[in-house]
Structure 1
């Protein structure tokens, strides 16, 4: 057999399947020079590629706010430790999460279906970054709707005599289902001060009025009596002060003298749906930062 010369075996090419993780970092701290430099430098030291960055300094509160999306191969523990060192220097409050991770969400309803339908549809078809883990209703009316979308429905009746027990049941659901966000989708009950404090910054409400006008019950009837030319809706975080929590989003619809109360209600439902959906999406995308009684929203 003739001699055969063979080429030396080449090592396999390195694999490139391991993609970087995209993280979203949010932070707030007293405003001072060097914050952006420190944060961006720290991310660069961990081979971070910043894909989105927004910041705002509020001269009124003296606070600085920042939201950064960054791609890096660094492990969460490594990145969190590096952020913690910067945070200690600047007295920061911060969060770190994977971009697009669905936020575990519990929706609370009464009898009106339009906001619940909209959120369920957006989760399924528009990739809203939430995972709706259940629906709580103080009436059973929307159980079939929740079940149609494959969501467990929990009927938790509320009366003056049973309000405390109902809120204990809600706390149990929040803990057992590992809930990160509670959405009041036209839930027509007032949460207690204690529950509002326990879930502060994690409960979003839709109020069918352009707050601070026409608070409380029957806002469309109040608006009609005043002959308004604009109706609206307000989505806000829930606090112990009724309809006065930090506002996340508002929207309006123009009307005139020819509109009846029923017309205002129908138009208002459309405004409510889109206003609540934007607020929930922005919260789930970590675009909303609290600034006292106000919010900073990075669109």
Structure 2
């Protein structure tokens, strides 16, 4: 790449960076803008534009074909190389650990739909909505996926964040329930030990609402350790989502008794995409993310029609 890097610092090379951005959105086989279109839009000289296009061909980022009065057509392109030349890195998002089919489907859907629109996308996985918000604020990631309940709290608590998209009911989890270590339990009662993960906004808020007014011991535990703690009888009850099949099959569960918990539980099923308001380029790139298409892919993964990849 050293020869390519050197060539891009020439006058034509700098122009090639701008033109590469324009060519990313043009599909193979389509006509590219005329020289005059590039000169007008990018405020470049005609010779500079011609030199930039020639350079892009020389480094094999594109292959063009002139068809006379019909114009010039894009026969071939190296999309990754065009992104590199244009200085556009992949969009990097963070979402929950994909331990359920629902999360696997959501991750697969986001990746597939963005890649269909020629957007480069990478996903990272992190437990807990609060750590994901903090990572977003520190700009380790460009967007974060969490429940609508957690997203609304994040937007209220942290200045400069906004909810960019929501994916509809049951796009995040199917539902939350209370799981019990003892099958004779049917609701949270006084003197119970109840597991709580404060890094998970959904789990913590639903737990606190359901325990309100009761004399219980709140045992701080990581979300992924709830199963083990329930199995060993170290806690008596815990709020968890029903998409974890092992938990649903192992423990007795019940719905919420608190009206406030019931209301928030419904909101916690919806997936939301959160971004920083000031990052216009990220918002623009995410504008092509069709949530209905993401849900379609997610459904196929959940039903076993499509193999997940993320």
TM-score by length of 2: 0.27
Higher strand share: 1
Name the structure, 1 or 2, with higher relative contact order (CA <8 Å, separation 6+). 2
Higher-helix-fraction structure: 2
Q: Which has the larger radius of gyration?
A: 2
